[in-house]
Structure 1
Amino acid sequence: MARHIDIGTNEETAIVEACKVLSDGFPIALPTETVYGLAADATNPLAITRIYETKGRPRFNPLIAHMSGLEMAERHAIFDPLSRRLAEAFWPGPLTLVLPLRSDSAIHALATAGLDSVGIRVPVGFAGRLIGAFGRPLAAPSANTSGKVSSTTAEHVADDLGEKIPLILDAGASAVGVESTIVKIEDGELRLLRPGGLAAEEIERVAGRKLLRNGAGKAAIEAPGMLASHYAPGAAVRLNATEVNAGEALIRFGDAPVSGVEAAAAVLNLSPGGDLSEAATNLFDFMKKADASGAATIAFSAIPEEGLGEAINDRLRRAAAPRE
């Protein structure tokens, strides 16, 4: 069973112990401002293999390489002027940039799924300090079984992967609650590969141009979170519900009326006041709580497709997609 260390009271111990485990080639559960990550040395093929095996993740699905700062990132990726502007504006923070991989980068091909590009992010706070102490980038997908609901607390990680990993670092609940936004600059165009914890409007404001969404011709897996079915609880998921059926769990947003509430197996509200940031923070935790109610279906009321609502709806559509 995984050992737990509370970062709030033992940060120095947490860094020392984490560096030992990472140096031995094993993954750890690492808290970030987005979600908890399953982190391992991005330069060590055995460590990366253990990430895929622990999650049950397809090896064609690339991993994000987390850096301590822009200086470390520049040693592994080539920045064009617009990518640099976005990095300087939003790092550390919930933005991942997909960039050309430097030919001399030590990031192993297993982490990039053999692509000539790499997704790079600089996380806020403790995670960045740990990476700085470790001295090498960390590959870190979300700390959960592949395709399932992402973990936003150490308890979520322990329930899912606690018997498979040696160390869980606990920093309480993740502040953002959904994974990072992933963008790529290609042929002078700015493409959104995955909506996430940084609203597209904020990126467009700094970039001075519109983000292009993926079309039918851009269906290749270039970054995490692009699989059609993902972020799924055990229960089926039904979207844009205006009524709830007997025995279903209901997850609401705001004060929009939903009929049949009295027959629901559980009722949760992502944000009674209609705050999309609060809703994003609560999303995965509430999905897990609704799933634990035993309901066969989780019904979600409608969520606006704006700001962080784009990321929330992206996760919900993938959770509701047919499962293979």
Structure 2
Amino acid sequence: MAEIGTNIEYAKTLLEQGEVVAIPTETVYGLAGNALNVSAVTKIFEVKNRPQFDPLIVHVPDLEAAHEYTLDIPAAVKRLTDQFWPGPLTLLLKKKSIIPDLVTSGLDTVGIRCPDHALTRQLLSELSFPLAAPSANPFGYVSPTTPQHVNEQLGDKIAYILDGGPCRVGIESTIVGFENDIPIVYRMGGLSLEQIENVTGPVQVQAHSTSNPQAPGQLKSHYAPGKKVIIGNIIDLLQQYPAHATGLLTFQSDFNSPFQFVLSPSGDLEEAAQNLFTALRAFDKMPIDYILAEFVPDVGLGRAINDRLRRAAAVDSF
């Protein structure tokens, strides 16, 4: 298993040697490597068993660093960074050639973000390169929100997990790009559409792709646990699936089941987002065959939660 600790200097040394390290962010834990080192980036894909047509997000300590790796930062992007960086916002920008094509899957744009986690921002500020860092889990599986989640899945493949405690947001960053000055959300996440539109005005949503995605995290079947996820009305679903073989994932409702996870008894969408991936992982350790889930209210962070549920179930309706 990987060593877990808070030694930034050790993490820095490993990264400078071209190794990969798990790092904390406010959203989920990332599997990080030197974004300018093709060998290190290749290790990320190998450790995750991630297809190379799925691009990676590049993490920087601040907007000034983002200028080093992108060709242009439009005024609308600057307004977003002023408001939401550091934070759960990834911006899709035209890349400079210094960013390897492997990072962007051959696209001329790169996803850039400044994470809102003190430990990782300190690490980034001490490095001479940015970090490519998708979620620190096997490709397609539930994203990790604690060091233990990372160790359970990748502990035999990496040397070190930088321990930043449980992730505060618990769901990946929102990805925003611009086409003809129109803001487009490519992945819903920890920053709500309402928050973005308060800065940019109306946005378009283009949040999934079955192949050759234009941004990270767009694949339709993703964030999936080892059990089959079925979404609908829990009461109706319980008529179709045997109770002893099913886990129940609810927003607020308590069905008094031994195999149940209530995302937020108080109906708080932020709490529900924090708990989502932990809940999906918990079901994998239960003696069940199915996870019966219900959507949360489709507002604010609820849109991102519902997006992840759809992908976990790989349903057709987006």
State TM-score, norm by structure 2.
0.93
> 2:137 matched to which residue of 1?
144
The CA deviation string for residues 8-41 of structure 1, in whole angstroms up to 9 with x for no partner, is xxxxxx2110111001111101010000000000
Query: Which of 96, 106, 112 is equivalent to 2:104?
Result: 112
Question: Aligned pair in 2 of structure 1 residues 241, 143: CA closer, same or farther (>3 Å)?
Answer: same
What are structure 1's unaligned runs of at least 5 residues?
8-13
Change in CA separation of 1:300 and 1:322 when aligned onto 2, cut-off 3 Å? closer
The one of 285, 288, 303 aligned to 2:296: 303
Equivalent residue for 2:231?
239
What is the distance in 1 between the residues matched to 2:263 and 2:179? 36
Q: Which residue of 1 aligns with 2:305?
A: 312
Q: Deviations over 1:239-265 (max 9, x none)?
A: 12322341200011124xx7xx45x45
Superposition CA RMSD, Å = 1.8
Q: Deviations over 1:186-227 (max 9, x none)?
A: 1111101000001110000011x1110128999751111111
Larger mean Cα displacement after TM superposition, 66-75 or 286-295: 286-295
Q: Which amino acid aligns with 1:83?
A: V
Deviation at residue 102 of structure 1 after TM alignment: 2.3
Aligned residues, how many?
A: 308
8 Å CA contact retained: 1:248, 1:265: no
How far the C-alpha of 1:154 sits from its partner, in A, is 0.3
Q: Secondary structure at the match of 1:84?
A: helix
Is residue 221 from structure 1 mapped to residue 213 from structure 2 by the alignment? yes
**Preserved CA contact (<8 Å) 1:291 1:298:** no
What does residue 92 of structure 2 align with? 98
Whole-Å Cα distance in 1 between the matches of residues 207 and 14 of structure 2? 41
1:10 maps to none
- The 1:215–1:91 alpha-carbon spacing in structure 2 relative to 1, beyond 3 Å, is closer
The aligned counterpart of 2:41 is: 48
Name whichever of 224-233 and 286-295 sits farther off. 286-295
Q: Write the letter of the residue equivalent to 1:241.
A: N
The one-letter amino acid paired with 2:250 is R
Q: Any idea what the Cα deviations from partners look like across 1:109-130, whole Å, max 9, x if unmatched?
A: 1111111100000011221111
Instruction: Find the aligned partners of 2:106 and 2:295 in 1 and give their Cα distance.
Output: 39
Instruction: Return the alpha-carbon distance in structure 2 between the equivalents of residues 117 and 301 of structure 1.
Output: 35
Residue range with higher mean Cα deviation, 243-252 or 161-170? 243-252
Closer/same/farther in 2, CA of residues 217 and 37 from structure 1, 3 Å limit = closer
Residue type of the alignment partner of 2:246: E
Aligned counterparts of 1:29 and 1:210: Cα–Cα separation in 2: 36
Following superposition of structure 1 onto structure 2, how do residues 1-324 of structure 1 map, counting pairs within 5 Å?
1-5=1-5, 7=6, 14-77=7-70, 78-103=72-97, 106-124=98-116, 125-207=118-200, 209-214=201-206, 220-243=212-235, 244=238, 245=241, 246=243, 247-255=245-253, 261=255, 264=257, 266-321=259-314
Structure 1 distance, partners of 2:137, 2:294, is 25
Partners of 2:47 and 2:114 in 1: CA distance: 24
Measure the CA separation in 1 of the matches of 2:46 and 2:212.
23
- Read off the aligned partner of 2:248 and give its amino acid letter: L
Change (3 A) 1:218 1:315: closer
Question: Secondary structure at 2:248's aligned position in 1?
Answer: strand
Q: Aligned AA for 2:54?
A: N
- Partners of 1:315 and 1:321 in 2: CA distance: 9
Residue 232 (structure 1) shift: 0.3
Q: Deviations over 1:56-94 (max 9, x none)?
A: 000010000000100000111120110111111100000
Are the counterparts in 1 of residues 20 and 32 from structure 2 also a CA contact under 8 Å? yes
Aligned partner of 1:11 in structure 2 is: none
Displacement, 1:135?
2.1
State the alpha-carbon separation in 2 of the partners of residues 216 and 271 from structure 1.
27
1:67 to 1:81, Cα distance in 2 relative to 1, 3 A: same
Counting aligned pairs with the same residue, the percent is 45
Closer, same or farther: CA 217–249 of 1 in aligned 2, 3 Å: closer
**Paired AA for residue 25 in structure 2:** T
CA distance in 1, matches of 2:287, 2:185: 36
Counterpart residue type for residue 22 of structure 1 = L
